[in-house]
Structure 1
């Protein structure tokens, strides 16, 4: 009996997140002092991909994460590559995310990465997403 309400709240929060992301482009809400960068080289070892860069954020009241995703070639399919908890103290910090992709999904060579600073703030029973910064970057994936 308890699992159904929890699952419903989680599903609702996920739908809210997806709807909010589609409704407002992340670039529109980033303050000039908040940035995320992506290093020009990522590493790939088998199915494991590691991406990195720097970030700076301020004025967070909820949990903040640096998320990253990568896609390669003409495929529109993007692969999520981990997430790192962020510290929003106004100083520049390094981030590094590692994640696994399906067999053969990525190979050494050119790729496109998106990195996002995303805050999840409680609002009643829901978590509301706030985008602090986003960066799209062409990178080179090198074989480890």
Structure 2
């Protein structure tokens, strides 16, 4: 007669495990939910970016958002040699008052230097919205644009 060991989980442990898994799935799915941003929320990218002598990159554009319950930021990234390698270029605090504002982000690329010429920029207007005590991202708008990087 063969006896196979069985894993016995007390009901409380199963319940706690199920709750933890459910919470993790909720948090992973939350950013993918459609944003409830206003229809007039927008972000643009300027056609020219600048590279300083020390390698610092400056990107700019405009944004508009109408309401928020948490802090809102304009983030930007740039890619040049490969679309799979994006360099983060700073972040700017946004004011959501329904008026169009300018944004300017500066930063120094980490993994590779950027050269004057064509580049691809993505800008995102994102809020850290408090949901159940956790700040979760709420996307107001995003824009992608090919630009020209120039030496400044």
TM-score with structure 1 setting the length: 0.78
CA contact (8 A) 2:123 2:144 kept: yes
Unaligned segments of structure 1, at least 5 residues: 1-15
- Which of 85, 91, 96 lines up with 2:99 in the alignment? 91
Deviations 1:70-95 (A, max 9, x none): 00033411011000000000000000
- Which of 29, 45, 53 lines up with 2:61 in the alignment? 53
Q: Using the alignment, how far apart are the partners of 2:29 and 2:80 within structure 1?
A: 25
Q: Which has the higher contact order (CA 8 A, sep 6+)?
A: 1
Larger relative strand fraction:
1
1:65-76 matches, within 5 Å, as 65-76=73-84
Q: Using the alignment, how far apart are the partners of 1:31 and 1:96 within structure 2?
A: 23
Q: Does 1:36 align with 2:52?
A: no
CA RMSD of aligned residues (A): 2.0
Q: CA deviation at 1:32?
A: 3.0
- 2:7 alignment counterpart: none
Unaligned segments of structure 2, at least 5 residues: 1-26
Q: Does 1:126 align with 2:134?
A: yes
Q: Using the alignment, how far apart are the partners of 1:29 and 1:140 within structure 2?
A: 33
Q: Using the alignment, how far apart are the partners of 2:101 and 2:126 within structure 1?
A: 15
Q: CA deviation at 1:121?
A: 1.3
- Which of 118, 123, 145 lines up with 1:137 in the alignment? 145
- 1:4 alignment counterpart: none
Q: Which has the larger radius of gyration?
A: 2
Q: Using the alignment, how far apart are the partners of 1:24 and 1:111 within structure 2?
A: 30
- 1:63 alignment counterpart: 71
Q: CA deviation at 1:103?
A: 6.6
CA contact (8 A) 2:38 2:67 kept: no
Size of the alignment, in residue pairs? 125
